[in-house]
Copies of this chain bind each other. A is one copy, B any other.
Amino acid sequence: MWSEVIEGKLGKIAAFLAMMGEEVAQSTSFIKEIRKDGYLYIIGRVGSMEPQKVVAAIETAAKNQGIIDHGVYREAHALYHAIIESLHGIGRGDTSLGSIMRTVGLTFAVVRGKPYPSEEEGEWIAVALYGTIGAPIKGSEHEVLGMGINHI
């Protein structure tokens, strides 16, 4: 079923992973499916929605888990812009006011692979963020979702 849903789309894979979280994704055949297709991925969580902390958390995870090459700036540059794009979906026009947003449980997913049949198109990277935003009172929050994609 999953292959029919994802259709080899990098962004969908990242969004599904962020919304399912590691545990649920593992419990279905989703992870197996994307591994079979040769995609690299990471899933993580960050408890803040300050842009700089989200960026740092994703960059660190991506470097430590080998999604991007630590020593190559163009890879970090590609990832950075994909993260920024995903933050625009989270901020919904108010990214500038990010410091007044309070979140509980933001899950991120980064996926790297070759989404195009032509070899020349090379590798691309997708970042997805999913979480809840709101007042620091349990239940007083709603969902946010963002996704960005870039060539490496």
Contact = CB atoms under 8 A, between A and B. Distances in A.
A134 B93 contact: no
B51 A100 contact: yes
Interface string A107-133: 000000001111011101010101000
A149 B91 CA distance: 12
Interface residues of A, number: 70
A62 to B, nearest CB: 13
Interface string A139-152: 11111111111110
Nearest to A142: B149
Nearest to A94: B84
A92 B89 contact: yes
Nearest to A16: B19
Given A81-B81, A142-B77, A4 B24 contact: yes
A147 B88 CA distance: 11
Contacts of A81: 81
A76 interface: yes
B87 A97 contact: yes
A148 to B, nearest CB: 6
Interface in A1-38: 1, 4-5, 9-12, 15-16, 19-20, 24, 27-28
A103 to B, nearest CB: 13
Given A11-B144, A73-B140, 8 more contacts: A15-B145, A71-B120, A73-B121, A74-B120, A77-B150, A88-B88, A142-B149, A145-B146
